[in-house]
Structure 1
Amino acid sequence: MLQSIGGGPPNPRPQKIAVVGGGSTYTPELIDGFARLRETLPIAELVLVDPAEDRLELVGGLARRIFAKQGHSGRIVTTPDLDAGVAGADAVLLQLRVGGQAARDQDETWPLQCGCVGQETTGAGGLAKALRTVPVVLDIAERVRRSNPDAWIIDFTNPVGIVTRALLQAGHRAVGLCNVAIGFQRRFAKLLDVSPEAVHLDHVGLNHLTWERGVRLGGPEGEDLLPGLLAEHGDAIADDLQLPRSVLDRLGVVPSYYLRYFYAHDEVVAEQRTKPSRAAEVAEMEKQLLAMYGDPALDEKPALLARRGGAFYSEAAVALAASLLGGGPGDGLNIHVVNTFNQGTLPFLPDDAVIEVPARITAAGAEPLPVAELDPLYAGLISHVAAYEDLALEAALRGGRERVFRTLLAHPLIGQYADADTLTDLLITHNREHLAWA
């Protein structure tokens, strides 16, 4: 997420960008951003890669119409062939979902049998997604490296923190990206009646475990406006997060909406047991979106797409890709909230932990900005979840029932041996076809 003001030169040459998972119903959001922000990230060729050729052609057709309507001269190619699609790419965006919405629906339901939250990135469901995803992403990254070892990989695939660490640990040129921070940036900018680029967030934590500790104008040294925002707009912010206003007042920070799974875990579980999974809702929405995408008269992203999720993903992805490829502001203020190696930023974590913080982005990669000391209330939970993520990555790379059990036992939302044992069996049963070792 580009946070600082700057109007430097765009990239020196048009780029080739590949999107793996290009048949996703998210993709028109990304295409719209590429079209609107073509001065920031000039694109000569955009390749959408996806094995689901029926979806790919629907999405690709709409993508070409969006480019044409907005006067973008770039060429859009669709292919199910990964190696051909990433060949010679300057940057590769990963937005895949191993197992599709059917696997997500399982992630969101079977953990409820043990009274644990059912969510695709948090808790037992999040571990299942990591186990399915990490081996696939590493295979893709190796094939990208064979094609172009200088290509940047931008990972939007969840769980972003674990996947990004797998990529970085394997030596890939990778940065993880999430849309939580840019969503807060846009929301606060609207409340302050300023441009989003003027808003700098003191955003800190792990992917899907973050807090906004400050909201500043003009850069990291600007005046902190968060106390005033909470005083004037605390009710609305709390409603968006589905947390009591009193929690925000007592914390003095704005937690990401994923913190509700920790701060109101039992309340969330009770809700989940009374309604369809989010995956079921999204699957129905995707049917409607794909039907729309097949309409040859449609040449813009439909309004329904806003309910699909991933808001502002395109702006964040375009700005980050431009900075990694040598474009963006020329004043050294290319600051984005990304997932990258800790490198001593949070002294209580190992250097090779992956954290989500503002970082200066250049063609050499991400350099996290200094972070003020964290209250133990946040540092403790970050440490706990970071330990879980370390075990999760080990389980994803090496497999084995005992590694899965140890990982679940370590998770702060599970932590009981009987539940961890039952959840291990459920995870393996529901994901056997995606686990080479099972």
Structure 2
Amino acid sequence: MKEINVTIIGSGSTYTPELMDGFLKRKDSLTLKRVTFMDIDERKRTIVGNLCTRILRNDGCDCEIVHTDSLKEAITGADFVLTQFRVGKLPARYLDENIPIKYNLIGQETTGIGGFFKALRTIPVMQEIASAIEAYSPNAWLINFTNPSGIITEYLANYTRVKQVGLCNVPISMYDDIYESVGKDVKIMYLGLNHLSWVTSVKRGSTELIHNLIANGLTTKVMANIHDDKIPMECLADIKALPSSYLQYYYNKNAKLNQQKIEKKCRAQVCMEIEEKLLELYQDKNLVTKPALLDKRGGHKYSYVAVSLIDAIANDKKEVHVVNCKNNNALSFMSQDDVVEIEAIVDADGIHPIPIENFDNPHIITLMQVIKQYEKLTVKAALTGDESLARNALLLHPLVGDFYAVSECFEEMKCAHSSYLTQFYPH
């Protein structure tokens, strides 16, 4: 049984109780020696942290518990650092979702121009965290859930020296949907980038099932935070794959934009309401478990993904997990240092992506290559404050593209988020 010190950066997130629940479910293989709750929002850190403390103590966990807003204190001595923060919190998400609509662009927090600005705000903060890990706990693992997870991991993997991996709850949800439909005796092939991914094969023995599954109407469930506009089955037959929920923004672009124009509340507003209800619930001193309302927040199963990965590293399990990591020749059509979302063997030595040979789907290959170039330019723009690089990134993205819309929307969003974009406002 491995003893570990865990630090949660962004511990005021209402997801954190689910994370505690995940650790307690793995207590036979992981012992929490110390848990550090770090957040700069004192109110949320206190409310959520107190509930998490009650959850741990109610289950008999007597680990050391630290509450802090100091990055140095949080990082020092950590074995695993989990990042799940949101720069600008939900009001910034509201801007990401609503400003683009004025320019006939989809507003979404992880893709398109909304996701782009979330990355610009987040990478400088992640720079500080990575520097702190390098200085105070160079052997610690950074487990990133902060969105846009793929872009953030692209930065961490190629611009820092920290041991890191990016995670998302989309893959496990897709796997579970397929297992529910056809049973667990199948081999699934999953690949892509974060929030741009597909299941391209479902095999039972040597028999390929995916074409018949698509023909018979199989789709994976849409994530709770995405309005379901129903990707046509003809589209799935054409691309020869089952796409993740976030591909709705690409394949149903017009329907998505029209829906956003007429909806009374954007997702950010819904999340604000759920968050306040959760924070109110969390203050009940009799509450010692995660409430059911938490499942409506959109991060369902993330604790399982995070804790099982930590377990695999800490206990050298050599398990297969879907992660965001450097390609390292796993996909021949992507560069070695491109961060991709694929299956990898996880053990004490790290993350080892499993090669996918002879992959031949021009649609998926091309879309992955285009979005990867967008991601790389986004990272450079976030690090340099180069507005030309920023616009070039947005011109590549299929959900943006139009130069005048890019220029005007970019200026408004840059101004709206100016307090978090010091790279663009050096003075």
Q: Aligning the two structures, in what range does the TM-score lie when normalised by the shorter sequence?
A: over 0.9
Which of 364, 375, 381 is the matching residue for 2:349?
364
Per the alignment, residue 381 of structure 1 pairs with 367
Q: Deviations over 1:48-98 (max 9, x none)?
A: 110111111111121122223333343332212221112101010000100
Per the alignment, residue 244 of structure 1 pairs with 232
Find out whether 1:414 has 2:400 as its counterpart. Answer: yes
Find out whether 1:66 has 2:40 as its counterpart. Answer: no
Which of 311, 330, 352 is the matching residue for 1:345?
330
Pairing of 1:11-410 with structure 2 (within 5 A): 12-169=1-158, 170-194=160-184, 200-215=187-202, 224-227=208-211, 229-230=213-214, 234=218, 237=221, 242-275=230-263, 276-328=265-317, 332=318, 334-372=319-357, 373-410=359-396
CA RMSD across the alignment: 2.0
**Does the aligned pair in 2 maintain the 1:161–1:339 contact within 8 Å?**
yes
**Does the aligned pair in 1 maintain the 2:154–2:376 contact within 8 Å?**
no
Per the alignment, residue 4 of structure 1 pairs with none
Cα distance in 2 for residues equivalent to 1:306 and 1:64: 20
**In percent, how many aligned pairs have the same letter?**
36
**Closer/same/farther in 2, CA of residues 167 and 31 from structure 1, 3 Å limit:** same
- Structure 2: runs of 5 or more not aligned: none
TM-score under structure 1 normalisation? Answer: 0.90
**Closer/same/farther in 2, CA of residues 17 and 224 from structure 1, 3 Å limit:** farther
Find out whether 1:431 has 2:417 as its counterpart. Answer: yes
Deviates more, 1:16-25 or 1:420-429: 420-429
Deviates more, 1:236-245 or 1:60-69: 236-245
**Does the aligned pair in 1 maintain the 2:37–2:67 contact within 8 Å?**
yes
Specify the code of the residue in structure 2 equivalent to 1:91: F
Cα distance in 1 for residues equivalent to 2:383 and 2:144: 18
1:426 to partner: Cα distance = 1.8
**Closer/same/farther in 2, CA of residues 192 and 235 from structure 1, 3 Å limit:** closer
1:237 to partner: Cα distance = 4.9
- Structure 1: runs of 5 or more not aligned: 1-11
TM-score under structure 2 normalisation? Answer: 0.92
Specify the code of the residue in structure 2 equivalent to 1:183: S
Specify the code of the residue in structure 2 equivalent to 1:323: A
**Closer/same/farther in 2, CA of residues 235 and 433 from structure 1, 3 Å limit:** closer
**Closer/same/farther in 2, CA of residues 375 and 324 from structure 1, 3 Å limit:** same
1:233 to partner: Cα distance = 5.6
1:165 to partner: Cα distance = 1.4
Specify the code of the residue in structure 1 equivalent to 2:218: G
Specify the code of the residue in structure 1 equivalent to 2:308: A
Cα distance in 2 for residues equivalent to 1:67 and 1:151: 23
Specify the code of the residue in structure 2 equivalent to 1:377: H
Cα distance in 2 for residues equivalent to 1:423 and 1:91: 38
**Closer/same/farther in 2, CA of residues 141 and 200 from structure 1, 3 Å limit:** farther
Specify the code of the residue in structure 1 equivalent to 2:342: V
Cα distance in 2 for residues equivalent to 1:140 and 1:222: 46
